[in-house]
Amino acid sequence: MKEMQEKILAEGKVISGGILKVGSFLNQQIDTDFLKKMGKEIAELYSGEKIDKILTIEASGISIAVAAGMEIGVPVVFAKKHLTSNVDGAFYSADVHSFTRDEDYSVVVSIDFLSQGERILIVDDFLANGQALNGLLSLVKQAGAEPVGVAVAIEKCFQGGGDEIRGRGIRVEALAAIESMSADTIVFRNN
């Protein structure tokens, strides 16, 4: 998505540790016009597929997932990073290592919201090492549901998570895919 690349070049900041900050349009302030375009793009990419539900992870994946869910016309489920009183009864759970915080956490979803045979599109903001998405894929598998594929706003290809997931036969789409980045240069895949 050309506009995503332009947005990253105009507003993104590369900080130490291989982290790209996009707080001005995605991770803290949300550019709602642009969010709508992201939702349309994801819906277009997966237009040939039957999708029953979108699964994402709190917090930054939710806005993108909802934008895509409104375009596709399906519900959005978000995995929680902590067991709260909102998740009562039985739940699916997977362990995830956070790239940005360097700590482990669990992703949990109540068994009420993922069912056997459902076709699930997984959406998130960033794909780096693939830990978060692998956690979500594990929840889908535990439910006996089927992963239609993954859509992320930004893939950092140099961390390898996307290609590892593709290697397992799962479709991965990124609105922008970064091959390499430094404080003053960002190189996109396929640009």
Q: Restricting to residues 58-117, which ones interact with ligand 5GP according to CB under 6 A? A: 60, 99-100
Closer CB to ligand 5GP, residue 78 or residue 126? Answer: 126
Q: Restricting to residues 114-143, which ones interact with ligand 5GP according to CB under 6 A? A: 124-132
Residue with tokens 């360097």: 102
Q: Restricting to residues 6-65, which ones interact with ligand 5GP according to CB under 6 A? A: 19-21, 27, 60
Binding of ligand 5GP at residue 176 (CB under 6 A)? Answer: no
Beta-carbon contacts of 41 under 8 Å, excluding residues fewer than 6 positions away, are 1, 175
- Residue 149 β-bridge partners: 121
Residue 116 Cβ vs ligand 5GP, minimum distance, rounded to whole Å: 26
Residue with tokens 């997932």: 65
Q: Which two tokens stand for residue 182?
A: 């430094």
**Alpha helices, H only, 46-122:** 60-72
- Binding footprint of ligand 5GP, residue count (CB under 6 A): 18
Is there a contact between 128 and 102 (Cβ–Cβ < 8 Å)? no
Residues that bind ligand 5GP (CB under 6 A): 19-21, 27, 60, 99-100, 124-132, 156, 161
